[in-house]
Structure formats: C-alpha cells, structure tokens
Structure 1
Amino acid sequence: MRFVPSQENQDFASSLDDLLSSADVVAAARAWAAGDAGPGHRIWGALARLGVPALAVPEEHGGVGGDPADLAVAFQRLGYHGVPGPVVESIAVLPVLLGADSPHLAALAEGAIGTVALAPRTPFLLDADVADLRFVAGVDGSMTEVPAPSTEPLGSIDRTRRLFHPQLNTVTEGEPAGRILHNGVQSGEVAGAFAVAAQLLGAGRRLLDDTVEYAKARSQYGKAIGEYQAIKHLLADVATRLELAAPLLHGAAVALSGAASRGVDLDPVRDVSAARVAAADAAYLAARTALQVHGAIGYTAEHDLGLWITKVRALQSAWGTQAEHRAVVLDAVRKAAR
C-alpha cells in the first residue's frame, strides 16, 4: 500500500502546473470576483481538455474513472494556483451524488460546471449564477435540479466565492441519487471534505512558496529578511505542518479507494476528517505566517497574497467545520478504544 503519489500522479501534477502556470489564473480569479466569468470559463475549458472534470466520472459516461489519489493530486494543484469556481462541487461531489444512470454525468465529464447544496453542512449553492447545472440534495437521497438564482449572492470573505440560496419555488423533476452512506455520513459530504482538504493543502503550499520568495527578496538592515532566524523558524513551522498533513491526505485517498491491507485500519469517514483537520490547520498557519512575514503589503487588496489568504479562510468551513471534523475523529478514537 502506497501513501505517497505514484510517478503517474507526479506527471499529472506537472501537466496541471504547466497548464495553470500559463493561464494567468490570478487575473481570471479577479475577474470572477468582479462578475466576469469569461476568463474562468476558458480555464475550465482547458482543464476539461486535460480530463480534470472527468476524473471521478465513470468511463461508461465518458469519464476517466480515476481513483481518489488522482483527485488528491488535481485538487492540490487547483488550490495551489487558486482556480476559481465550484471545483469541489463539480469535480468531486456531483459525480458521487448523481445516480449511476444520470444523464448529467456525461456533461460534467465534458466540462460543464456544476454546483450542489447539501444541507445541513452545505446549505448554499456556490457560484450558481455561472454554473451550468445546479442541484439540491434532499435528506431522502433525491437530487433536484434548480434554476439559476434570481437573488443577489451572499457575502463571503473570499470574493471569488458567491453563495446563493437555492431557488426551491420552481424546480425540475427530481432524480434518485447514487449516494452511499459511510457510518451514517453521506458520501457526498465525505467527497467534499476530501477535495477541500487537498485544495487547502495546495493553497497552503502556494502561500509558503510565495512567502519564501518574498523573504529572499525583501531586505532589512542590510540583508534579506529570510536570513533572520525568527523568519526561518516561522517558515519551517509551516513547512513541517504541511508535510505532516500530506500523508494523512494520501491515507484518506487509500481509504476512499477501498483498498485493503493487512494490519492497516481504514475508515473513510475518520481518515478524511483527520486529513481535513490537518490540512486546514496547516493552511491557516501558512496564511497567518504569510501575512506576518509580508507585513503591511500583505493587507492590501492589490497584492495577490490576499487571494489565497481569503480562500483559505473561507474553506475552513466548507463541507464541514473544523469542530465537526474533529468530533468525527474523536468519536472514531473512542469507539476503537472500547
């Protein structure tokens, strides 16, 4: 059993980095926040040509039929580059929630943008105004398609995230969901938490990389601030936390894949929650440290640092809060100790 990315995973990550590094994602994210989804749609189109939206879609629906390790790689790179839009909902959650015979799976594989509300953890539709497909998951396991919102979005600390109340007054006919329960937890919630954990880990690494580069370039009292021991310790703490979170994410991918191994206790719900807690804590530390090292310039809206800081803060409560995921881990530990 491998708890680290394979060579194929690494090659896939490199391909994503090459694509997104040349796509001017920062400009697309700023345009997305301002209400212009055009540049963001072009990035989604490029991702579709690389097969990213099709990763979790079965092959019989035109998808790749990838495993959770592939999703972990993809979402780390999406988080690292700050790709806007409902990437978690569209790429990771909807392929799990929609039934095996859903006609919408092929559209998602081809790059259609989808979003979903799944109460109580995720009661709002993310970026419903630009999504092609919008769903509300019912407590009875049904999936109901809803129209484009007619109301203004709710505010978010991350301006690239626009949240909408589902328009339940007019809906189309519902369809059964292909949801599977893990220990009483809906699989859509597990998939969302797993993807958010990977996205946070990627965003945390981007914050660390940018802060290291800034510390090398910024001089004070005649030398780069990165040469001062206090700055080195701050950055080392972030690097350590990110590195410790990575094996938990890959372990969660193994648990989600259903792989069995002698002597290894795998629990998808527990392992995803553990990875989510570690990744979110590490990313939050990266954000706080980045702001501390950058100083006043890091507080300005014009500096790109804010795009990742606000995203990390917003994702802290996406697909479950830290307190909820800690409770899941604690409950699993208590049951194991009995």
Structure 2
Amino acid sequence: MDFTFTDDQLAFRDAVGRFLMTEAAPEMLRSVWESNSGRSPELRSRLAAQGLTALSVPEDKGGLGMDDVAWALMTQELGYYAIPDSLADTAYVAAGLVAALPSEVPARDRWLSQIAVGDIRVAVGHPVNPLVADARSADLLLLAHGDEVHAVPRAEVDVTVSASIDLSRRLGRVSWSPTAATRVANGEAGRALWADALDRGTLAVAGQALGLARRMLDLAVDYAAQRKQFGKPIGSFQAVKHHLADVATAIEFAKPVLYRAAYALAHGEPGASVRVSHAKLACCDAAWLAARHGIQVHGAMGYTWEVDLQMFMKRAWALDASWGDRGFHKSRLAEAILADGAALGPGHTFEVQA
C-alpha cells in the first residue's frame, strides 16, 4: 500500500503556503491583533477568493468536497503562518456539522453555500469548550443544549468577552435560550454530530500545533545562525544543536500520528476518536517543546512583542487546552490502549481487510 500524499495534495499544500506567506506577514498579523475585532475582513475575503472557505463544502453546494486528509495539510499552514481567523472552525468544523444535518433543515443548503463563498462566519460552541471562539464576530452560532444542536443567530446570543494570552484568540462566554425554532438536531443524531465535531475540532488544533512547532523551529534556527557569542554563531554550540534537534525529532514523530488520525476520520474508522486524541497530544507536545527551546535559544527577549517568536508561542499555549485538555485526551487514549484485547503494535497501524 502507498501512504504517500498525491501530487495534487502536495501541490495544494504548497499553493496555500505560498499564498499565506505573501498575505500574512508578521507585521500584518500584529496590526490585526491590535484591532478591536482582531479579524481582517480583507484577509477573509482573500481566503474565500482562493477557495479555502469551500474546502469541506460538498461539490453540489458550491464547494470542493475535500476530506480530512486535506485539512491535515491545510491546518499546518494556518498554524505556520498564525492566521488570525476562525477559518478552520467555520470551513472545516462547522461545514462538516452543517453538511451532516438532516436534509429537512430548511437553512442547511443556504448555510453551506454561504460558507463556500465566505459570506458567513460560524462559531461552534461544543460542550468540551467552556468558551466559544469568535462568538462575538460570528453571524451564526452552533450551540449545544444537552444532546441537541441549535443554530442560533448572533442577535439572539449575549456574549461576554474573555481575554486570552493569544491576542488572535477572540473568546466569549455565551448566554442564550434554546427554542424549538433554533433546534436542528437532537437525540442520537445530535450526539453523533457533536462527537464528529469534537474529532474535527481536535484534528484542526493538532494540525495547527504542528505548523506552529515547525515555525518556531525555523525561527530558532534562523536566530541561532545570526546571533553570535564568543565570536561564533550560537548555533555552532553543541547544547543549542541538541535543543533544536530534539524539536525536529518531536515534529517528525508527530507527523505520522496526525496523518493516521486524518486517514481514520476520512474513512470513518471505528477508532478514529482515539487516533485524533493521540494526534493532539503528540502535536501539542511538539509545539510546547518548540516553544520552550525557542525561548532558550532566543533568551528572555523571545517573550517581547517585537520578536516574532512570541506570536507563535502564545498561539501554541492557547490552543493546547482547546477542544479538550490533555487530561481529556489522555483518558480517551488510556481507555483504548488499556482495554482487554487492544490492537497494539506496528502490525495494527492499518488493519488488513479481508
């Protein structure tokens, strides 16, 4: 079996990376962070014009119909360039949730079409997240009431803003009243929708964390090559080399875990949730290590506003507890690997189908 990415998938990743490199320079990100909304309508429009808001929308609704594997590549680029936008929440998590709604929901097709062209920002209030990202700037909020899924217009929600260490994270605590008019799913269907949304949100965080780790490693390597001590670049010192090598190793070990989880989600495998939890833990560990060693390479100045490292470091810290904290995902993983008859070992990475 061939598990390498296709040429089209790699071309897609490279095209997204080139686009974000020109559209999301650190200087632009700082100006967006310091604005009242923390969002750039111009950047959002350019993302939509590139078709990035349409990735998960079915083709018959004006989208590209791409799967979770494509998002595993996409979210890494969003993390690498620290995009200050809720693109993954709307175009991946919310789009998947809306697409799975019963066809008799009147506004379902309209919402999908609006997501595809970038005309709507959707915030997802999953029960695992006490605060809702982009609740204040959303046009529509998908909120939970027990097992029920409610689609609530922004005008019907009160939002109390909550500060984050990462200025690009615009969080809010929401207050609202569920009604029959806003309910779009309940019972077993609602539980399944929220479970799927949790897996997609978790995978999106894992991909961004891996992208952040890559960016922080690149920044540390660049700084180590330029900063001199005792007449030599600090990157020539063995202790610094070991720090950076540890980060590079963590990143390489996290990549296959992320891709295996994306494959499991894309193919609806029964153990997908466990693999997604594993991916988040591995990718966030790599991001934490990259942040810690990046600071050690930069020194205390790495915390300052003027240095780019702090932007990516704060994003990694903030995302670490999003879509389930470490305790939550370690519990899911422990239940699977400690279960009687657990399929463990290299021979069980991909099960052979009869």
TM-score if structure 1 supplies the norm length? 0.90
CA separation in 1, counterparts of 2:266 and 2:272? 9
Residue of structure 1 in register with 2:146 after alignment: 139
CA separation in 2, counterparts of 1:316 and 1:51? 28
Cα–Cα, structure 1 residues 129 and 181, in superposed 2: closer, same or farther, change >3 Å? closer
Supply the AA of the counterpart residue of 2:209.
Answer: L
Supply the AA of the counterpart residue of 2:173.
Answer: H
Residue identity over aligned pairs, in percent, reads 34
Residue of structure 2 in register with 1:239 after alignment: 248
CA separation in 2, counterparts of 1:56 and 1:325? 25
Cα–Cα, structure 1 residues 233 and 64, in superposed 2: closer, same or farther, change >3 Å? same
What do the CA deviations read for 1:87-121 (whole angstroms, capped 9, x no partner)? 332122112222254121111111132211111x1
Residue of structure 2 in register with 1:317 after alignment: 321
Residue 240 of structure 1 and its aligned partner are, at CA, apart by 0.3
Cα–Cα, structure 1 residues 220 and 172, in superposed 2: closer, same or farther, change >3 Å? farther
TM-score if structure 2 supplies the norm length? 0.86
CA separation in 1, counterparts of 2:287 and 2:271? 24
Is contact 1:190–1:269 with CA below 8 Å preserved after alignment? Answer: yes
What do the CA deviations read for 1:35-87 (whole angstroms, capped 9, x no partner)? 35587222222221222111111112211110111111110000000001223
Residue of structure 2 in register with 1:31 after alignment: 31
Supply the AA of the counterpart residue of 2:249.
Answer: T
Structure 2: give runs of 5+ residues left out of the alignment.
Answer: 343-354
Residue 34 of structure 1 and its aligned partner are, at CA, apart by 2.0
Is contact 2:234–2:240 with CA below 8 Å preserved after alignment? Answer: yes
The count of corresponding residues between Structure 1 and Structure 2 is: 331
Residue of structure 2 in register with 1:40 after alignment: 40
Is contact 1:126–1:164 with CA below 8 Å preserved after alignment? Answer: yes
Residue of structure 2 in register with 1:215 after alignment: 224
Cα–Cα, structure 1 residues 251 and 311, in superposed 2: closer, same or farther, change >3 Å? same
Is contact 1:79–1:201 with CA below 8 Å preserved after alignment? Answer: yes
Structure 1: give runs of 5+ residues left out of the alignment.
Answer: 261-265
Cα–Cα, structure 1 residues 145 and 181, in superposed 2: closer, same or farther, change >3 Å? closer
Cα–Cα, structure 1 residues 323 and 205, in superposed 2: closer, same or farther, change >3 Å? same
Residue 287 of structure 1 and its aligned partner are, at CA, apart by 0.6
Residue of structure 2 in register with 1:337 after alignment: 341
What SS class does the counterpart of residue 244 from structure 1 fall into? Answer: helix
What do the CA deviations read for 1:214-237 (whole angstroms, capped 9, x no partner)? 111111101100011100000000
Supply the AA of the counterpart residue of 2:49.
Answer: R
What SS class does the counterpart of residue 137 from structure 1 fall into? Answer: strand
Is contact 1:71–1:195 with CA below 8 Å preserved after alignment? Answer: yes
Residue in structure 2 matching 1:298, options 281, 302, 326: 302
Tell me whether 29-38 or 7-16 shows the greater mean CA deviation: 29-38
Supply the AA of the counterpart residue of 1:277.
Answer: L
What SS class does the counterpart of residue 135 from structure 1 fall into? Answer: strand
Cα–Cα, structure 1 residues 100 and 207, in superposed 2: closer, same or farther, change >3 Å? farther
What SS class does the counterpart of residue 123 from structure 1 fall into? Answer: coil
CA separation in 1, counterparts of 2:22 and 2:268? 36
